Structure 1
Amino acid sequence: MKIKALVAVRSGSQRVVNKNIRPFAGSTLLEVKLNQLKRIPNLDGIIVNSNDDQMLQIAQNMGCETVKRDQFYASNQVSMSDVYRNMAENFDADVVAYINVTNPLLKDQTIINAIETYKKISGEYDSLNSAHLIKEFLFKDNLPINYDLRNQPRSQDLPDIAALNFAISIIKREKMMECRNVVGYNPKIYLIDEIEATDIDNQIDFDFAEFMYLRNLKNEE
């Protein structure tokens, strides 16, 4: 069973312009993630899928495989389901370890452990998907959905509700095509902590992630 990382990046990010290749902690999010994945011993390769020639060149310079994505599958109009299927169709390994560059605080050991866990449970579950617990008072349609408003618990006693963060998702290539997603029909929810789960979606996220990344580097010295 050959497992390769799939790193999907595109041009055109709107909330944080050029977030994948703008300066981040003396590097870029793309280079940080590729350098990390090159340290993971139980990966059989790294494939970068992008519509952007500059990002593809960075990946090639770092010794990674590359796939040029059709511009249609990098637009803001196409559904992610169609994007997932297209990426799986252009992937040459048995198992996809889909890993986002926008989770720079994810630890090496977490990736290693997730891959080993997937190998053990792949007969029972058809994907492994990272998530973190939400311990917040949630409302929908002006009503609480995870607690009794007239018998309010402490926040730590709220039910365990997991939110997918897509820091790491592992699924067979054929299943990814069938489901048109990195989440299978019977996923194994793989919990990681909120710091590792940090996903850069806006400028505040970017600044926080860079601060924490630099602090972690300093602590390792």
Structure 2
Amino acid sequence: MLTKVIWGGVKTHRREEYYASSQCSGSEFFRHLGEVTDTDIFVYCPCTSPFVKPQTISQCINQFLSSSGYDSLATVSSIKEFLWLDGKPVNYAPTHAPNSQDLPDVVALNFGVTVVWKEDLIRNCNIIGTKPQFVMTDDIEAIDIDTPLDFYIAEQLYKKLVLEGKGLLE
């Protein structure tokens, strides 16, 4: 394990090879992260969410610390899609298909920012607790790079919004 302070008390941690591999499950990874991190509150902001604003991170931390009744806080995106699982619709009846804007309000974790107590992270083996609070992000902040296409889209947005100075990320 390699841990070093880079600035302002922020520490980096280089994962051991197993915890960076596809053999390691998400639950194993999160539990390990909690076990090797010296903190009471864990804030998870992966580099695969490059458009999350510093203000959003601060807002999430402050909201988590000032709220009671929740054991975690996570950024989410609204999903208005016709969803199916195992050959069956999840959020609508095909014989009474609504307009997409009238589908139920379903949210998806986008992993831009997650805040959780370290003890809950270890106990639940997850950065999302059993009583999460959600913060909705806009479409750009919600971008999560998981595939080459996601990376291409993020790269094009970066060129347009940052390099061309469109100011949408401020």
TM > 0.5: yes
SS in 2 for 1:124: coil
Number of aligned positions between the proteins:
166
Please point out which of 107, 112, 116 is paired with 2:53: 107
Q: Is the aligned partner of 1:149 residue 2:87? A: no
Cα distance, 1:202 vs structure 2: 1.3
Unaligned runs of 5+ in 2: none
SS in 1 for 2:42: strand
Unaligned runs of 5+ in 1: 1-50
**Cα gap change, 1:184 to 1:139, in 2 (>3 Å):** same
Distance 1:69 1:104 in 2: 20
Aligned partner letter, 2:41: V
Structure having greater relative contact order (Cα 8 Å, sep ≥ 6): 2
Distance 1:61 1:189 in 2: 29
Deviations 1:84-130 (A, max 9, x none): 11111111121111011011121222212111111121x21000011
- Which residue of 1 is the match for residue 114 of structure 2? 169
| TM, length-normalised to structure 1 | 0.68
Q: Is the aligned partner of 1:120 residue 2:66? A: yes
**Cα gap change, 1:203 to 1:69, in 2 (>3 Å):** closer
Cα distance, 1:162 vs structure 2: 0.8
Please point out which of 20, 36, 53 is paired with 1:74: 20
Distance 1:64 1:126 in 2: 23
Please point out which of 148, 153, 157 is paired with 1:208: 153
Cα distance, 1:186 vs structure 2: 0.8
For the Cα contact (< 8 Å) 1:104–1:213, is it kept in 2?
A: no
For the Cα contact (< 8 Å) 1:84–1:177, is it kept in 2?
A: yes
- Which residue of 1 is the match for residue 166 of structure 2? 219
SS in 2 for 1:219: coil
Distance 2:93 2:30 in 1: 38
- Which residue of 2 is the match for residue 96 of structure 1? 42
For the Cα contact (< 8 Å) 1:105–1:212, is it kept in 2?
A: no
Q: Which runs of structure 2 are paired with 1:27-106 in the superposition (5 Å)?
A: 60=6, 64-106=10-52
| Alignment RMSD | 2.4
Distance 1:105 1:138 in 2: 26
**Cα gap change, 1:61 to 1:174, in 2 (>3 Å):** closer
